[in-house]
Amino acid sequence: MAHNRKPIIIATVALAALLIVWYKTSKSPVQTPAARSELETLAASGSKTPTALPIAPATRDFVRPIASANSATNELPVAPPSARTPQQLVAEILEISSAEGSITAEKAQKFKHNLEELIKQGAASIPAIGELLDKKVEYDYADAPGGEQMGYASLRASLIDALKQIGGPDAQEAMVQVLQTSALPSELLEIAKNLDQEAPGLYREQVLNAARESLAMAATNPAAANMELGPAFRIIQNYGAANTTAEAAQNEPANFNNAINLANMPEGQGLAALVQMTEIASSPSGQTIATEMIAQMAGENSKAADALMQMAQNGKISNGAWEKLAPILGGDQYQIANASAQNPSNDSSGSKNPGYTIVNNATTSDQINQRIELIDQFLTVVPSDSAGAASLRNQRNFLSGRLGK
């Protein structure tokens, strides 16, 4: 038996050796020529993997192995690509806005997505938005084919709305900064309404200063002759004194509506009652709205014009009141809003109370000239160096600009 075991032992050892060789061979990595070439190239160049990539790599460059059910629990989750910074989002918005040619649906969708991302990032986006607004860059989407797809009239309008939606003290500060650097009345009115919604009354002086500066610039700068000044007058009407028209509509709706109804009675039948209101109204705001309604009638009723002139000569109209009366003498008229205008979004006055609307009836050249003549009459009795006279002159320049269009 011992003689027969030797061959068996030798055969067993040989089989074990063959198994070891086979096992090592099967576990050795096999480098294809292509793989060796890539490794050799990297080694020769000494290149390093960047710590951060500005753009996420295209997915077609990488093939991810599909993990089996058994190994899935052992794999680490793949981290999603980091969100773009507000600066990157604003840069893309500017790039889309400044691109020549028509605005495609793809560009508009990308623009809206970037704007949404800015808003979602909240206060972190405010510095980037403010920086672009400070540069006073503007692109009107209405002028470009397909611009209606953007959802905004212009680049700056979209950025201001983003600040409104973000909200908070930082956004308010950024909007106040725009007030100090912009002279565009429509932009100032939009910011005024945004600030008043966020912090009622807090920024009234800044809003008024911006409107007054815009009107002063238009009166002295020929380049601003064609600028639409109506929104600046709206600001002064609604924020121009401690007792504003908007506050009268909100706090004394019965007196407010009564005054408007009296002013719209046929053949000036409500004039006597309005004059009486200016003398016996229980509050300054009641007196103010009654005076405004007399001014509203003055454009078409000589007796109302005489009554207002008498008040001016007797010193019963303050500088703050003249700021409100100037656009009314220029053609603005208050009307009680109808049912469809009860939605605050339709209220062009900027008031939180949607109980009235303002329309301008001086549309033809003859009507505008008649309004200029009416203003000239009051300029003869208002001190020329007063704020009241400045308001009347600004309105006169505004009307003259409309004649030139």
User: Which tokens is 238 given?
Assistant: 């609604």
Quick one: pLDDT band at residue 285, thresholds 50, 70, 90? confident
Q: In the predicted model, what is the mean pLDDT of residues 303-329? A: 91
Q: In the predicted model, what is the mean pLDDT of residues 269-293? A: 85
Quick one: pLDDT band at residue 133, thresholds 50, 70, 90? very high
CA-closest candidate to residue 86, choices 40, 23, 131:
131
Query: Phi and psi at residue 162, in whole multiples of 5°?
Result: -60, -40
CA distance 220 to 51: 57
User: Which tokens is 108 given?
Assistant: 């508009």
Report helix, strand or coil for 324: helix
Give the range among 129-138, 196-205, 218-227, 276-285 with minimum mean pLDDT: 218-227
What per-residue confidence (pLDDT) applies to 405?
A: 57
> What does the pLDDT look like over 298-313, one tens digit per residue?
999 999 999 999 999 9
Q: Is the pLDDT of residue 177 over 90?
A: yes
Q: Around Cβ 234, how many Cβ atoms within 10 Å?
A: 24
The residue ranking higher by pLDDT, 345 or 12, is 12
CA distance 103 to 107: 6
- The chain-wide mean pLDDT, for the chain, equals 76
Q: In the predicted model, what is the mean pLDDT of residues 263-269? A: 90
User: Which tokens is 199 given?
Assistant: 């912090």
Q: Which amino acid is it at 290? A: A
User: Which tokens is 174 given?
Assistant: 């950024």
Query: Phi and psi at residue 336, in whole multiples of 5°?
Result: -65, 130
CA-closest candidate to residue 179, choices 233, 118, 243, 133:
133
Whether 93 and 133 have beta carbons less than 8 Å apart is answered as no
Q: Is the pLDDT of residue 115 over 90?
A: yes
pLDDT cut 70: percent of the chain above it: 70
Q: Is the pLDDT of residue 387 over 70?
A: yes
Quick one: pLDDT band at residue 246, thresholds 50, 70, 90? low
What per-residue confidence (pLDDT) applies to 70?
A: 38
Q: Which amino acid is it at 155? A: L
Strand partners, 222: none
**Which range is most confident: 2-16, 145-159, 245-259?**
145-159
* Dihedral sign computed on CA atoms, order 391, 397, 401, 403: positive
Q: Which amino acid is it at 381? A: V
What per-residue confidence (pLDDT) applies to 354?
A: 46
Quick one: pLDDT band at residue 62, thresholds 50, 70, 90? very low
Q: Is the pLDDT of residue 365 over 50?
A: yes
Sequence-ordered alpha helix ranges (H) in 281-348 = 284-298, 302-313, 319-329
Strand partners, 360: 332
What per-residue confidence (pLDDT) applies to 5?
A: 43
Whether 270 and 279 have beta carbons less than 8 Å apart is answered as no
Burial class for 31, CB neighbours closer than 10 Å (0-12, 13-18, 19+) = exposed
Q: Is the pLDDT of residue 49 over 50?
A: no
pLDDT cut 90: percent of the chain above it: 40
Q: Please count the CA atoms within 13 angstroms of the CA of 291 that sit on its side-chain side.
A: 30
**Which range is most confident: 12-16, 56-60, 118-122?**
118-122
> What does the pLDDT look like over 10-44, one tens digit per residue?
444 455 454 444 544 444 443 434 333 332 333 33
Q: In the predicted model, what is the mean pLDDT of residues 65-79? A: 36
The strand pair at 332-336 and 356-360 is best described as antiparallel
CA distance 48 to 338: 71
Q: How far is CA 327 from CA 167, 230, 400, 404, in A?
A: 32, 8, 13, 18
Give the range among 56-65, 226-235, 282-291 with minimum mean pLDDT: 56-65
Give the range among 169-183, 189-203, 301-315, 347-361 with minimum mean pLDDT: 347-361
> What does the pLDDT look like over 215-245, one tens digit per residue?
878 767 766 666 777 788 888 777 776 546 6
User: Largest Cα–Cα distance of the chain, in whole Å?
Assistant: 146
